[in-house]
Amino acid sequence: MNQFPAKNLFLLFLTAFIWGTAFVAQSVGMDHIGPFTFNAVRSLVGGIALLPVILIFQRRKTPERRQQEKANRKTLLLGGISCGLALGLASGLQQVGIQYTTVGKAGFITALYIVIVPILGLFFRKKVGAKLWVSVVIAIFGLYLLCMSGSLRLEWGDFLVLLCAVCFSVHIMVIDYFTTKVDGVQMSCIQFFVAALFSAVCMLFTEGVPDPHAVAISWVPILYAGVLSSGVGYTLQIIGQKGVNPTAASLVLSLESVISVLAGWVILGQSMSPREILGCVLMFCAIILAQLPDRKKRLSECTRGLKTKILFDGKRESRSAGNAERLSFAAFRLKKTPGSTRGK
């Protein structure tokens, strides 16, 4: 669990790269269609892209596992709907917010969910250490440098993306609740279809019926965001995190924010001022600090592991001594037995 194989590192970095560059696809995709139209089609494509993945994983499952999944269908449906509604709201806020801010800002503000999630855990009586509160202070100061120019007023686009980060935090906590009870890929597939339906309803009320020609023109960013960011990205994350420390995996995935800035600069020509770059650096430091393991917890785990090893070694030595004693006694009995030919 403490090792970080090169294969897993590459897969998680590839996931962060796909998610970081997806901000560019989201921005370009709205040149011809509205934000909710983009999200509706993107989520639909993402759900369809996961169907073959589910079929492949289903064939590898044991009959007992399949029977267990049948018994948990109601929980799977509830989890998929809950995650889909949270994802639909978060994606909608992010997509609308990107219209009024840069790709780099959106990437860093969205990444604040790593700091927001533990804070929301306070409402569920989860303890928050001093290290996290330091991360929050650093993140707020970095957010100020990144988004507020000369006043304490948060720009409209940045505010929407910040609300998106809060919704993504709720989305993560919902996933955390259901992921141990149901199959993660199946729940993800359901959530994409629910998010597509949610976005379609918002689309009809705010944008009307979309123009098929406009959707066809935007097929490249839609496919990138749908197939790669949703379908492939999620699958790579599952495979890459297998057997890897979650903290180490989170640190690699948080590079999404840095990649979004580089992608916006290289592809879209969106530059940042030194003040905004300093804000990005501070926010990234806050993200890393929030994910670093606590020293006391790490020491406790090491001590517990050492005690377990000592206890195991002690039992093994005790068994070895007992076996040696029994063998010696058996050899003594054999030597005393009349007619024995051992040693000749």
User: Cα angle at 212 between 210 and 216, to 5 degrees?
Assistant: 120
CB atoms inside a 10 Å sphere around CB 153:
11
The residue extents of the domains of the chain are: 6-293, 294-344
- Structure token digits, residue 340: 């024995």
CA distance 329 to 317: 18
Sign, Cα dihedral of 207, 213, 214, 219: positive
Tell me the pLDDT tens digit for each residue of 45-98.
989 988 988 888 888 777 887 787 777 889 999 989 998 999 899 989 988 888
CA distance 331 to 104: 78
Tell me the pLDDT tens digit for each residue of 319-329.
555 555 554 55
Percent over 90 (pLDDT), the chain: 11
Tell me the pLDDT tens digit for each residue of 246-302.
555 666 777 777 788 778 878 877 777 888 788 878 877 877 776 676 665 555 555
- Asked if residues 278 and 138 have their Cβ atoms less than 8 Å apart, the reply is no
Closest by CA to 114, choosing from 138, 145, 147, is 138
Sign, Cα dihedral of 278, 283, 286, 291: negative
Instruction: Indicate whether this model's pTM tops 0.85.
Output: no
